[in-house]
Amino acid sequence: MKLFNVFVLALSCIGICSSDSFKCTTKPAKIPKEWRDMVVPCIKILEAQVKVEIQAAMTYLAMGAHFARDTVNRPGFSMFFIKSANEERMHAIKVIEYLLMRGQLTSDVSNLLKFPLPSIGTQWENGVHALTDALQLETQVTRNIREIIETCETPKDIPFNDYHLVDYLTGEFLEEQYTGQRDLAGKISTLGKMMESHGPLGEFLYDKKLLNGEI
């Protein structure tokens, strides 16, 4: 029993020590740095994109929670926005994975962990309002990605074109952004017409179609 108590105490001490810092105390290996060829302006703006994606995820989570409330009860909209939140979270993970692949985030990642970030809103009048906010949010995210591409393609005062990152963002992110924006615009159009003709009943029917994956 005494041996068990000593073991528990040792584990507690280790836990307390490890919780004090996220930084690794192991001496790093001597690895050549020439392969890390990303320039500082490109690194900084790409790191900032992680927070943009997480904030978008937080906003979609807020939308999903709003439509799941008993006083709103639109499970189709809730499911759609929760799924959108997961997609934005995966975008943040992809950006982090890319930075790691290029040899970044090796010293201190605490700047990427200063969360939670607030959502853009917490309540929405109806489905059209929420979808409109979502479209505006995605449009801003697209602008941010285009800004990253411009910065990394022609960094100011630095003759370096990061072809690989530009190609990655163009193919992996922009394609999905533009497709998603078109989908949201179509949803706003359809739902707006249904609500104009049938009022709240139109939103109820649209929610059912969302829930069943028909639109």
Binding site members for Fe cation = 53, 88, 91, 138, 177
- Tracing tokens 């979270």 back to the chain, one arrives at 89
CB within 8 A of 161, min separation 6: which ones?
152, 153, 154
CA 53/CA 106 separation, integer angstroms: 21
CA 203/CA 195 separation, integer angstroms: 6
- SS3 track for the chain: CHHHHHHHHHHHHHHHHHHCCCCCCCCCCCCCCCCCCCCHHHHHHHHHHHHHHHHHHHHHHHHHHHHHCCCCCCHHHHHHHHHHHHHHHHHHHHHHHHHHHCCCCCCCCHHHCCCCCCCCCCCCCCHHHHHHHHHHHHHHHHHHHHHHHHHHHCCCCCCCCCHHHHHHHHHHHHHHHHHHHHHHHHHHHHHHHHHHHHCHHHHHHHHHHHHCCCC
Residues making up the annotated binding site are 53, 88, 91, 138, 177
